[in-house]
Amino acid sequence: MSLSRRLILKATTGAAALAMLATGALAQSDPLRVGLGDIASVESLNLLIAMERTKERGVPMEMTFFNSEDVAVQAALSDEVEIGVGAPYAFMANSKAPIRMFYRMSTLLFFPVVNSDVYSDWTDLDGEEVTVHSRGSGTEALMRLMEQVHDIEYSNLSYVPGSEVRAGAMLQGTINASIVDATNFRLLQEKGGAKFMRLPLDGVNATDEALYASAETLEARADDIQIFVEELLRTWQDIADDPAIVGELRAQYDLLPDLPEDVAAEAVPYFAEAAENGIYPLDGGEPQDARDDIAFLAAAGQVTLNPDEVDPTEFWDFTALEAAKAAQ
Amino acid sequence: MANTQTDPGVIPGPTSRAFDMLGGTPLIWRMASLALFFAIWEIAGRTNFNWAFPTFLETMAALWEMLANGSMFSAYGRTLEPLVIGLVISLGIGVSAGVLMGLRRDVEWITLPVFITMQAAPMAALIPLITFVYGIGLTSKVLAVCMLAMPVIAINSYKAVRNVPPSLVDMSQSFMGSRRQQVFKIILPAASPMMFAGIRLGVAEGFSGVVLAELLITPTGIGDLITFNRSVAKFAHMYAAIFSIVAFAVIAVSLLHRVETSLFRPEKRGA
């Protein structure tokens, strides 16, 4: 073996060793990136707090924002983010892509509301027009489900995006039956008093947002994800115990520093109300929730699956959650 | 015949010869090219390189399903409304503004910068602005179509009028033609081929406008088929909707191209 050849050999082994070292070090400090299909708002504060607490335990985390939840799913599949936010049941059912949800962050809470001068009951809505957010949205799914539960049929579903727009239209009297979120339901009560009546939504248990990751990530980063889930459970519990903590922790971690004061001031009342309504579940999800979700989405026509035959593990991976609960 | 007759002063280079060959290709070769593209699509879909990418056959099955259950037709009924209204307005205003700009310097100074700005500005960024002013109804969608279609129609009409051979105008003057006769008998006929080309480009832009509006303002018509199927992860249906609007635009623009050649290029008739 000539000298030059030996030199080359040495150099390449050296480079290879260096590369391995570098990737090893990189893997250590690789952050868990969370892809949000929206911009961060007051409602994301609990997630942001849990991320800060995870960072404090030595797991670097980052948040990335996408235009829509669909893009977040694609990013999670192509490893551009490790964790996505959303409830991509339809995507998972139709594409059979290897992603699994691992933490249930929030449940769907909407208020079907009618003008009490015109309607007083679900059965009054038979043959009437109802306004929802958009096609394929949770509001549409809820109203379709109620159609089945109460054995009625709307004459038409019209689409007006934005709870605040629909609430405005109810106040103006342009529409008489719609479905709005908690904030706008409160607005309707303040401005309209007894004129606006809430119709009961019984037996609906549906996930609004969950955290998901690719099967590969769930396995490769199992330890980091378990720490994250532990902090999620702790944060959700802390907020449920004392919603005021959101304001304190926001200041402590300097979260969403650009929020205008009046918007930031809504954070604590929002979480107090959310805790009261049980929007943020404290158990992180369980197999029965997955079945309920499927039942809800099937009723709304978004998936064609039988909830009784569905195997929750096709959508969920509870390993991290169980490990986190055991560690607590 | 058609292959040999090119514009005087244009030297046929290798690319133009290639285009001539394509233009002269029998139908069967064009079909073969399409078939090749669809085959590549089918193979790409089957390799599962992306979980959201359906195969060609799945897409066609979805397209057939949407045609058979009528959802495609009702979607096009909704989409055509802003498209047609927007195009009619764009044609009316665009052509007349273009002709006026071509004929009168003062109009050119005032109006041309507006159209150049409209043509250069990224319209997708301005659509939210339209919704702030005109809401989410039909008006906004019609405006989106106009904003994309009108500049190219107006600027082409303007250039067409400007580029009328001066010798023709001189001739009209030597025959003591009035200004009116000059405009209606000489300038407009001489400008019409290029104006028509602008109209064809404008219609193509109009399709972009209406789809942008339906995706960005409120989902209706074909934009609704795309967003709805995307949100429930029925990707074959989503691609079928996209495929249909692309095919529809291509067919509409090709038909206009045919009308254009048969109206204004006698030497290309029957080619």
> Is B224 at the interface with chain A, CB within 8 A?
yes
Confidence of residue B49 (pLDDT cuts 50, 70, 90): confident
pLDDT at A106: 93
> Is A93–B233 a contact, with Cβ atoms under 8 angstroms apart?
yes
pLDDT at B155: 95
- For residue A22, pLDDT over 90 is answered with no
Nearest residue in chain A measured CA to CA from B229: A136
User: Is residue B4 domain-resident?
Assistant: no
Q: What percent of chain A has pLDDT over 70?
A: 91
User: Is residue B134 domain-resident?
Assistant: yes
Could you tell me how far CA B123 lies from the centroid of its own chain?
A: 15
pLDDT at B16: 58
The pair of structure tokens assigned to A36 is 């949000």
CATH fold of A30-108+206-327 reads: D-Maltodextrin-Binding Protein; domain 2 (3.40.190)
Residue-number span of the structural domain to which B114 is assigned: 54-268
Domain boundaries, given as residue ranges, for chain A: 30-108+206-327, 111-198
Residue scoring higher pLDDT (B197 or B136): B197
pLDDT at A7: 59
Question: Tell me: the pLDDT tens digits for A283-309?
Answer: 999 999 999 999 888 877 788 888 888
* Smallest Cα distance from B6 to chain A, Å: 49
Task: Single out the residue of A117, A317, A108 nearest to residue A211, CA to CA.
Answer: A317
Length of chain B: 271
List CB contacts (< 8 A) between B224 and chain A: 135
- For residue A179, pLDDT over 70 is answered with yes
List CB contacts (< 8 A) between B235 and chain A: 94-95
- For residue B11, pLDDT over 80 is answered with no
Please state the domain count of chain B.
1
User: Is residue B34 domain-resident?
Assistant: no
> Is A136–B235 a contact, with Cβ atoms under 8 angstroms apart?
no
Confidence of residue B270 (pLDDT cuts 50, 70, 90): very low
pLDDT at A155: 93
List CB contacts (< 8 A) between A88 and chain B: 233
Q: What integer best gives the mean pLDDT of chain A?
A: 87
Task: In whole angstroms, give the CA distance from residue A315 to residue B198.
Answer: 53
User: Is residue B9 domain-resident?
Assistant: no
Q: What percent of chain A has pLDDT over 90?
A: 47
Residue in B51, B227, B228 closest to A97 by CB: B51
List CB contacts (< 8 A) between B228 and chain A: 135-136
> Average of pLDDT values for B253-266?
83
Task: In whole angstroms, give the CA distance from residue B243 to residue B255.
Answer: 18
User: Torsion angle of alpha carbons A37, A42, A44, A45, nearest 10°?
Assistant: 150
Task: In whole angstroms, give the CA distance from residue B254 to residue A272.
Answer: 61
Contact A252, A197 (CB under 8 A): no
* Smallest Cα distance from A198 to chain B, Å: 27
Q: Which helix (H) or strand (E) holds B119?
A: helix B105-120
User: Is residue B120 domain-resident?
Assistant: yes
Task: In whole angstroms, give the CA distance from residue B210 to residue B145.
Answer: 5
> Is A161 at the interface with chain B, CB within 8 A?
yes
Q: Which of B58, B215, B231 to mutate to test the interface with A (most CBs of A within 10 A)?
A: B231
> Is B232–A90 a contact, with Cβ atoms under 8 angstroms apart?
yes
Task: In whole angstroms, give the CA distance from residue A267 to residue B102.
Answer: 60
Q: What integer best gives the mean pLDDT of chain B?
A: 86
> Average of pLDDT values for A160-186?
87
> Is A214 at the interface with chain B, CB within 8 A?
no
Nearest residue in chain A measured CA to CA from B218: A161
List CB contacts (< 8 A) between A95 and chain B: 51-52, 233, 235
Q: Using alpha carbons only, how large is chain A's radius of gyration in Å?
A: 24
User: Is residue B99 domain-resident?
Assistant: yes
Q: What percent of chain B has pLDDT over 70?
A: 88
pLDDT at B158: 95
- For residue A152, pLDDT over 70 is answered with yes
The answer to whether domain A30-108+206-327 and domain A111-198 are alike in fold is yes
Question: Tell me: the pLDDT tens digits for A86-95?
Answer: 999 988 988 8
Encoded amino acid at A78, one letter: S
Q: What CATH number has the domain spanning A111-198?
A: 3.40.190.10
The CATH number of the domain holding residue B75 is: 1.10.3720.10
Residue in A77, A88, A135 closest to B228 by CB: A135
- For residue B4, pLDDT over 50 is answered with no
Confidence of residue B36 (pLDDT cuts 50, 70, 90): very high
> Is B214 at the interface with chain A, CB within 8 A?
no
Residue in A96, A136, A159 closest to B232 by CB: A136
Task: In whole angstroms, give the CA distance from residue B262 to residue B270.
Answer: 8
Contact A239, A280 (CB under 8 A): yes
Question: Tell me: the pLDDT tens digits for A43-78?
Answer: 899 999 999 999 999 999 999 999 888 889 989 988
Task: In whole angstroms, give the CA distance from residue A302 to residue A89.
Answer: 9
Residue scoring higher pLDDT (B2 or A324): A324
Task: In whole angstroms, give the CA distance from residue A125 to residue A177.
Answer: 8
Question: Tell me: the pLDDT tens digits for B63-114?
Answer: 999 999 999 999 999 999 999 999 999 999 999 999 999 999 999 999 999 9
Confidence of residue B269 (pLDDT cuts 50, 70, 90): very low
